[in-house]
Structure 1
Amino acid sequence: MPPFRPIQPLPEQLINQIAAGEVVERPASVVKELLENSLDAGADRVDVDVEAGGKRLIRVRDNGQGIPRDELALALSRHATSKIGTLEELDRVASLGFRGEALPSIASVSRLTLDSRAREAELAWRMMAPDGAVEEPTPVAHPEGTTVEVRDLFYNTPGRRKFLRADRTEFGHVQELVRRMALARFDVGLRVRHNERTTLQVAPAAEPDAREERLARVLGSAFVEQALRVDMEAAGLALRGWVGLPTFSRSTGDLQYLFVNGRSVRDRTAAHAIRRAYQDVLFKDRYPAYVLYLDVEPGQVDVNVHPAKQEVRFRDGRLIHDFLARSLREALASVRPAQADAGPAAAVPAEAIRQETAPASGPRSSPEGGQSGFGFGVAEARALYAEPDGADAAGGAAAAPAEPSRAAEAEAATALPGEGAGDVPPLGYALAQIHGVFILAEAADGVVLVDMHAAHERIVYERMKQALAEQGVASQALLVPVSVPVAPAEAELAERRADVFRALGFEVDRGGPETVVVRQVPSLLQRADVARLVTDVLAELRRHGDGAGLQEQLHRVLGTMACHGSVRANRRLGTAEMNALLRDMERTPNSGQCNHGRPTWTRLGMVDLDRLFLRGQ
């Protein structure tokens, strides 16, 4: 154990180096602090030069308001800033930086040179800080603005320098930092060079088209093509930006950018809300992509809770959570096939679907094979989801699918509107069923392929959610109650969570140590396999436990139930039935994805078909 020492003040250099441990983690941390200073100074053009990943050189030049000669020494002193002056201003801070620690901390672990010329000043001045010691300023040639040059980062603290990674890795962090700044401030032009080679250059973007062009340059054109634009206000909050379609989901969270009052942050409350908004439409183990800007009254958010200012704390976190979740859920639900002609956001290219979702989805026939008890007859040709009569449902017996009538199909086919583009619905009219799995339809400009099980699953799920929200799920009594053998733990769970079963339209009683008795089932699912449906509901409740809220549990279980109530693979549909399914898809929220996040349809336009067959070439 080291000997005890008397309490004494720390040397100024050691104080600065300890502070540098919080502010300067790696070269990207230096770039962040210097860029924030440039933006706070009102710059609309910033150049960043980096060598050896930032370990040898970091130079940030801007055309901001500059620093007067008599303030240069203060700029390199701790806790000296022009951005706040009172506690009230700290509570409502609007600038990116405000602590006054960045420059002295950086100077204490590098060889720092500061050149600056204030607006309308005749001369520029240079201030050097070798080993953190501030020298007298000297005149230098420099345009209006400021240049900060940082050489040999951590040269005097080798213990920290050895923790830096390879040049390529460190520059990767610098690039990501500059990307965030480019997305945060569309009004500022940025240029980044690494080892004298330009890697990113963007001009100021004031118009919406120019902003999307910058977005495509920074994040790739695929994101812009597969993103929805968001612009909502409520309760003193404003949310704008872009959210990726569920079919553009990612295997990692590498395309998730959230800005609060112009500051790039990571916040658990916001992240959870965004995840909740995608929960019904995102494939398992996938991450949504988004660039979102949340504007909050400055007094309602605390930005002074993290040394690197990467996290914030909201005064009313529940309000923020509900606003984000509701706004994004509404934006995603608003996408209909009817919007496919309005822009690329709703028209999901087949290639994008294959690349992003096919590898994770697995074989299609395995989970959807077998016979379904959800049969439809010819009388329901144009009302595929009409309520069956109660006699068929008594006892939970499954009705066999009726054979379609040739006359009824012919009548349905001839009753279609004219061939003009204005008469053709967004998803077109059914032509055929492919291998009992897909529906092929002719649209106004090309063809549409629909996964009938995935599409019907979404339709049933949305109907059950709507019924649950409005008046509760309607029930159908079984003529003969069904006894379902279960494990003892499952029987106890059914008894304990009777409230969940009632909300879902079931009446389930415990019939013994290893038996439950089903007396009522949801009307929409009265033709389903009752025993399998109840055991799947119990499995869903057991998997997620009692920790989740009731509404969240109900929606999870509804998704499982909807899978039982949807048409299966190898179920032959007549033309009228297929057209009824297409029309319901056009009216249903979130119909672009099933409950598990898989895409339900894709379009191949005439241009795509011509390209495929080399027509016109």
Structure 2
Amino acid sequence: MPIRQLPNHLINQIAAGEVVERPASVVKELLENALDAGSTRIDIDIEQGGGKRIRIRDNGSGIPQDELALALSRHATSKIASLDDLEQVRSLGFRGEALPSIASVSRLILSSRHTDASQGWTLFGDGQEVFDAPTPVAHATGTTVDVVDLFFNTPARRKFLKTEKTEFGHIEDIVRRLALSRFDVGFELNHNQKNTLRLRSTDDRASAERRVAEICGSAFVEQSLYLDYEAAGLRLWGWVGLPTFSRSQADLQYFYVNSRNIRDKLISHAVKQAYQDVMYHGRHPAFVLFLELNPQLVDVNAHPTKQEVRFREGRLVHDFLFRTLHQALADIRPGDEAGAPTQLPPSNVTPHPQSLALKGREEQEKSEPVAQPYRPVYQPQYQQRLQMPVREQMAAYQQLYQPVVPLENVDKHDIVGLKPDLPLPPDTDDMPPLGFAIAQLHGIYILAQNASGLVVVDMHAAHERITYEYLKQSMAQDALRSQPLLVPTSVNVSKKEADHAEQHADTFHALGFELDRLGLEKLTIRAVPSLLKDGDTEALVRDVLADLITHGESSRIQNAMNDILATMACHGSVRANRKLSITEMNALLRDMERTERSGQCNHGRPTWTQMSLEHIDKLFLRGR
């Protein structure tokens, strides 16, 4: 067949196959248009899972009468006008494909009233390219898009739709994701004339957390840390779930770049790396995070569905996310409230104007930073050096082993777990977060009293984390030691891998490896880190090269050494049935309060739990 120009109607049908996958795709496109129009309230009405009807009303700026037909034309948009605009997209939509694609596979009614107009206008479409002239209609300022009988003219595609319940479930997920991106906009979702979701606009953190709790569950908010940190022109804020609040699936992960919800491999890798030392294998973290940066530094036109973005400085973004989250999780100490970071003066870095949720408006000036009650700033803190070396700690924790005293020989004036010559824990307001030890239970748990009630500590898990962090710190301070191989190991690799090995020679050297390139596709390993001398160094080098090619960095060598340190810490920590004195138990509690990540052991298990006095009272029906 000869080359020919496709008719516009067929072009729109092809585009509809890319843009309109299912009713949820229509909802996503129309909601993004409503948000770009500056709406503060959006109503979504769905019938029969979206297959019968999708109606979205907003109170945005509206569309002028003479632009209604143009809005349904392919590649017609008010959001970009030049290549410069495309390189710094600030809106959610910008391609001008959504409305014409939707109109080509549905019976569409577009009604709108512009802010400067005295009345509204409406336009009807039935899947054809030609539209009648707009007619007057009674309409408040804003726009209503009514999509009826989706895929009525493409029955083959309609057959691929799932059940009404399934399709509406996808719509609910889209609405929830967009509602998390804009706290300053109210959303109401109805299905078959029944309200299923009503979210009011918010202007403070307490209200925002109520929205997060309604979408993600109250347990997430209660067991998450709020952070807000800026550096190198990047800002990361939001909620990260504590490591103990992990999921079997990655179903509670919301990440936004300049208010755009995305799922990106680079971001997923950075978050996974930040949690790797405090979470069970096979578990997934939960988070609602917002990254803001200059729009010129991110390409949002890199994926057909805009689900992925391309960062111009991917390594910088990856390191910023990893270090911020890694330090935030490390700085959680006993006594810290989830969701309550340290209050600091506002930074003088101007937030990106598109993320208006709860932060003010575009008139914020760099020279006059405005204090916002909603954005307490997270400040990274650094671990203090432990007071005792590991060997002395071990001696202190394991020193005392006393035979069990028969019950009949116990003085009735003694308190269980305390010696007569030891004073009772002071009942003061400045009690440490983990309080003071009062007893040991079955040689496994430490029972301590603090200001809130009872603290139960798994002594082995807690001491394992303390020892592990000390070993990591000692290794970092003494630097990595290399051990030359008596017989160098040859590794056959691809040319690309060999090139990366040469480019990242300093990285390998800093991690204790000495690599030489013998040929176009051959490397030789002459020295390895002393901790890994008995491991499969050839496989490790290949894995590191794969990471360097994919992500530009690798933590596999460090992780492998950390695994060895974790094993050393596990075998070197106090064991069950080891009798500890009250002094030793209190020493362990104070070390936990000083140690990074002390809330979890090296395997991701919790090391302590709190039972409030109120909870204990309820167990015994006190006050009834």
Do residues 461 (structure 1) and 468 (structure 2) align? yes
Shift of 1:503: 8.0
Correspondence list, 1:191-340, <5 A: 191-340=188-337
Identity of aligned residues (%): 55
Do residues 611 (structure 1) and 608 (structure 2) align? no
Question: Which residue in the other structure is 1:559 paired with?
Answer: 566
Conserved? CA contact 1:116–1:125, under 8 Å: yes
Shift of 1:539: 6.7
Shift of 1:440: 1.1
**Residue type at the aligned position of 1:98:** F
Question: Which residue in the other structure is 2:135 paired with?
Answer: 138
Shift of 1:494: 11
Higher helix share: 1
Question: Which residue in the other structure is 1:441 paired with?
Answer: 448
Shift of 1:129: 1.2
Question: Which residue in the other structure is 2:30 paired with?
Answer: 34
Conserved? CA contact 1:417–1:423, under 8 Å: no
Conserved? CA contact 2:209–2:221, under 8 Å: yes
Question: What's the TM-score, normalizing by structure 1?
Answer: 0.79
Residues in 2 aligned to 1:84 and 1:19: alpha-carbon distance in whole angstroms: 19
Residues in 2 aligned to 1:455 and 1:521: alpha-carbon distance in whole angstroms: 28
Q: Find the residue that maps to 1:177 and give its secondary structure.
A: helix
Residues in 1 aligned to 2:88 and 2:60: alpha-carbon distance in whole angstroms: 23
Residues in 2 aligned to 1:177 and 1:411: alpha-carbon distance in whole angstroms: 58
Do residues 22 (structure 1) and 18 (structure 2) align? yes
Residues in 2 aligned to 1:428 and 1:388: alpha-carbon distance in whole angstroms: 20
Q: Structure 1: give runs of 5+ residues left out of the alignment.
A: 347-381, 393-398, 476-490, 505-519, 523-533
Correspondence list, 1:380-529, <5 A: 385-387=390-392, 403-404=401-402, 419-472=426-479
Shift of 1:11: 2.0
Residues in 2 aligned to 1:303 and 1:93: alpha-carbon distance in whole angstroms: 7
1:344/1:235 CA distance change after superposition, 3 Å:
closer
Shift of 1:424: 2.3
1:503/1:591 CA distance change after superposition, 3 Å:
same
Question: Which residue in the other structure is 1:99 paired with?
Answer: 95
Conserved? CA contact 1:226–1:344, under 8 Å: no
Conserved? CA contact 1:417–1:424, under 8 Å: no
Shift of 1:419: 2.0
Residues in 1 aligned to 2:589 and 2:75: alpha-carbon distance in whole angstroms: 64
Moved over 4 A (4+): 342-346, 382-386, 399-402, 409-418, 491-496, 537-546
**Residue type at the aligned position of 1:387:** E
Question: Which residue in the other structure is 2:121 paired with?
Answer: 125
1:385/1:614 CA distance change after superposition, 3 Å:
farther
1:237/1:54 CA distance change after superposition, 3 Å:
same
Residues in 1 aligned to 2:68 and 2:111: alpha-carbon distance in whole angstroms: 9
Conserved? CA contact 2:227–2:339, under 8 Å: no
Shift of 1:416: 5.6
Question: Which residue in the other structure is 1:184 paired with?
Answer: 181
Residues in 1 aligned to 2:217 and 2:255: alpha-carbon distance in whole angstroms: 18
**Residue type at the aligned position of 2:103:** A
Question: Which residue in the other structure is 2:367 paired with?
Answer: none
Question: In terms of mean alpha carbon deviation, does 222-231 or 464-473 score higher?
Answer: 464-473
Conserved? CA contact 1:494–1:538, under 8 Å: no
Residues in 2 aligned to 1:27 and 1:457: alpha-carbon distance in whole angstroms: 52
Shift of 1:553: 2.3
1:385-411 Cα distance to aligned partner (Å, 9 max, x none): 44389xx9xxxxxx99663599xx999
Q: Find the residue that maps to 1:431 and give its secondary structure.
A: strand
Question: Which residue in the other structure is 1:482 paired with?
Answer: none
Residues in 2 aligned to 1:582 and 1:474: alpha-carbon distance in whole angstroms: 33
Residues in 2 aligned to 1:542 and 1:605: alpha-carbon distance in whole angstroms: 52
Conserved? CA contact 1:245–1:332, under 8 Å: yes
Question: Which residue in the other structure is 2:112 paired with?
Answer: 116
Q: Find the residue that maps to 1:337 and give its secondary structure.
A: coil
1:326-378 Cα distance to aligned partner (Å, 9 max, x none): 000111111100325x87899xxxxxxxxxxxxxxxxxxxxxxxxxxxxxxxx
1:280/1:540 CA distance change after superposition, 3 Å:
farther
Conserved? CA contact 1:418–1:424, under 8 Å: no
1:208-253 Cα distance to aligned partner (Å, 9 max, x none): 1111111111111111100100100111100000000001111101
1:166/1:542 CA distance change after superposition, 3 Å:
farther
**Residue type at the aligned position of 1:252:** Q
Residues in 1 aligned to 2:83 and 2:576: alpha-carbon distance in whole angstroms: 66
Residues in 2 aligned to 1:148 and 1:9: alpha-carbon distance in whole angstroms: 31
1:573/1:402 CA distance change after superposition, 3 Å:
closer
Number of residues of Structure 1 aligned to a counterpart in Structure 2: 523
Q: Find the residue that maps to 1:450 and give its secondary structure.
A: strand
1:404/1:65 CA distance change after superposition, 3 Å:
same
Q: Find the residue that maps to 2:336 and give its secondary structure.
A: helix
**Residue type at the aligned position of 2:471:** M
Residues in 2 aligned to 1:503 and 1:413: alpha-carbon distance in whole angstroms: 53
Residues in 2 aligned to 1:166 and 1:284: alpha-carbon distance in whole angstroms: 35
1:447/1:521 CA distance change after superposition, 3 Å:
farther
Conserved? CA contact 1:57–1:152, under 8 Å: yes
Residues in 1 aligned to 2:420 and 2:277: alpha-carbon distance in whole angstroms: 34
**Residue type at the aligned position of 1:616:** G
Question: What's the TM-score, normalizing by structure 2?
Answer: 0.78
Q: Find the residue that maps to 1:387 and give its secondary structure.
A: helix
Question: Which residue in the other structure is 1:64 paired with?
Answer: 60
1:438/1:296 CA distance change after superposition, 3 Å:
same
Q: Structure 2: give runs of 5+ residues left out of the alignment.
A: 343-386, 406-415, 492-506, 513-528, 545-555
Shift of 1:459: 0.5
Q: Find the residue that maps to 2:543 and give its secondary structure.
A: coil
Question: Which residue in the other structure is 2:609 paired with?
Answer: 602
Residues in 2 aligned to 1:228 and 1:40: alpha-carbon distance in whole angstroms: 30
Shift of 1:559: 1.9
Conserved? CA contact 2:247–2:284, under 8 Å: yes
1:315/1:336 CA distance change after superposition, 3 Å:
same
Shift of 1:47: 0.3
The CA RMSD measured in Å over matched residues stands at 3.3
Q: Find the residue that maps to 1:246 and give its secondary structure.
A: coil
1:589/1:210 CA distance change after superposition, 3 Å:
same
Shift of 1:36: 0.5
Do residues 587 (structure 1) and 588 (structure 2) align? no
Residues in 1 aligned to 2:253 and 2:39: alpha-carbon distance in whole angstroms: 26
Question: In terms of mean alpha carbon deviation, does 439-448 or 569-578 score higher?
Answer: 569-578
Residues in 1 aligned to 2:7 and 2:316: alpha-carbon distance in whole angstroms: 46
Residues in 2 aligned to 1:79 and 1:122: alpha-carbon distance in whole angstroms: 28
Question: Which residue in the other structure is 1:527 paired with?
Answer: none
**Residue type at the aligned position of 1:286:** R
Question: In terms of mean alpha carbon deviation, does 413-422 or 103-112 score higher?
Answer: 413-422
Shift of 1:538: 4.9
Shift of 1:571: 2.2
Conserved? CA contact 1:458–1:590, under 8 Å: yes
Shift of 1:292: 0.4
Shift of 1:6: 1.6
Shift of 1:413: 7.8
1:301-336 Cα distance to aligned partner (Å, 9 max, x none): 000011221110001111010000000011111110
